[in-house]
A and B are shown apart, each in its own frame.
Chain A
């Protein structure tokens, strides 16, 4: 194996059912159900997926939901804003732990 990630592997995702058909099918059924139009539009769900794809740093998901966004006529400006939402939560989640650090310092420091 020359690379840990190969973009062509995304095409093989469906094959995970071959080694456990029951759980694999359950996952894909659930997955397709989640992305159907509901209280949120399919478009809104696609943007959430794109933001999460980035915070999870999943190259397959980034490829998939960039393409999905284009297919849904989502603009690049909308995509970038969605990613900033993910980035803001990520950095916020890091920084909010600063309170824990401050608590600890306040407890330990004279």
Chain B
């Protein structure tokens, strides 16, 4: 497992420009593989355009208690980018007036933002239908001050979505760090005790699977069946749905692909698995991502690549849903990650 973020290591891949250079150079520059723009142009899907906003995703900071090998955020304990209460207040105003039905809080570990609970309490009163917190599970067991998070989530009817790369200790700890599996199991059991993830329960608990290496995820429905069977038999754990998410070739996962000489094969695999039907429903067309400092992006990945929205409204202070609808989505070759096979989004497959 990585010990520190790329930023802390002063890796040149900590710079988004260097990542974009890699994604546009080599096999894409010499024509060996088609660029994403050229590929979607073949089916008249260029330019990709934003439809009606459905999901507002807010990244409240890059600080995290884990340093996962594949993290597209390059998150970790050494990251200091944290959303301030002032920006949160601006977000609350937006949430009160948005037409989106889903609010999705992410990070880092969103719970590590010192104003996380204040923000959740305020936001939960805004009448959003589905309020998601992406919790990495281990945070619940990381420190006493987080032990009551399952109760806090329940009180505010939070939809918990958590990462779980495998139902075995070995594969989980290899990707996410030693001890992550045992803590995650304990956290899932605690969520189950509060009613989360139980059959028929309104307290939604979904898991996210993303591959622990340079390969694409398998069929989401089949994986869900395997995860459910194993977690129930081995640990008496229940959950609602499994979202199979493709790792996008940016940040730490890109660093891993390049260092392990898997980059070209991985890009080939993504391009070979390209599915125009997935382009139709790709998440950037119904999602807006807000960064810790209030800037607007088409998705969390573009946020990390510092590719801002193509709109006059670039910051939460200029937020205007009518202006943002119909904007051209900013693309590069990382977008192949969302259009491979059955497609990939923060809510799992899309095709």
Contacts and interface: CB of A to CB of B under 8 A. Distances in A.
B217 A42 contact: no
Interface of A: 11, 37, 41-43, 67, 70-73, 75
A73 B209 contact: yes
Interface stretch (B218-226, B276-284, B325-333): B218-226
Contacts of B223: 72-73
B222 A72 contact: yes
Contact of B213 (A43, A70, A75): A70
Contacts of B215: 67, 70-71
B215 to A, nearest CB: 5
22 contacts: A11-B268, A37-B222, A41-B222, A42-B219, A42-B222, A67-B215, A70-B211, A70-B213, A71-B215, A71-B217, A71-B218, A72-B218, A72-B219, A72-B222, A73-B166, A73-B167, A73-B171, A73-B209, A73-B218, A73-B226, A73-B227, A75-B170
B299 interface: no
| Interface bin, chain B | 10 to 19
A67 B148 CA distance: 41
User: 8 smallest A-B Cβ distances: which pairs?
Assistant: A72-B218, A71-B218, A70-B215, A71-B215, A67-B215, A71-B216, A75-B168, A73-B223
Contacts of B227: 73
B226 A43 contact: yes
B261 to A, nearest CB: 12
Nearest to B166: A73
Interface in B174-215: 209, 211, 213, 215
Interface string B325-351: 000000000000000000000000000
Given A42-B222, A73-B167, A75-B171, 16 more contacts: A11-B268, A37-B222, A42-B219, A43-B222, A43-B226, A67-B215, A70-B211, A70-B215, A71-B211, A71-B216, A72-B218, A72-B219, A72-B222, A72-B223, A73-B209, A75-B168
Nearest to B209: A73
A42 B218 CA distance: 10
Contacts of B209: 73
Contacts of B170: 75
Contacts of B218: 42, 71-73
A57 B227 CA distance: 32
B316 to A, nearest CB: 39
Interface string B268-291: 100010000000000000000000
B213 to A, nearest CB: 6
B337 to A, nearest CB: 15
A70 B174 CA distance: 14
Contacts of A72: 218-219, 222-223
Contacts of B268: 11
A8 to B, nearest CB: 9
Contacts of B272: 11
Contacts of B226: 43, 73
Nearest to B165: A73
A16 to B, nearest CB: 16
B319 to A, nearest CB: 40
A109 to B, nearest CB: 54
Contacts of B167: 73
Contacts of A71: 211, 215-218
A43 B268 CA distance: 23
Contacts of B211: 70-71
Contacts of A43: 222, 226
A36 B74 CA distance: 37
B23 to A, nearest CB: 20
Nearest to B341: A71
Contacts of A41: 222
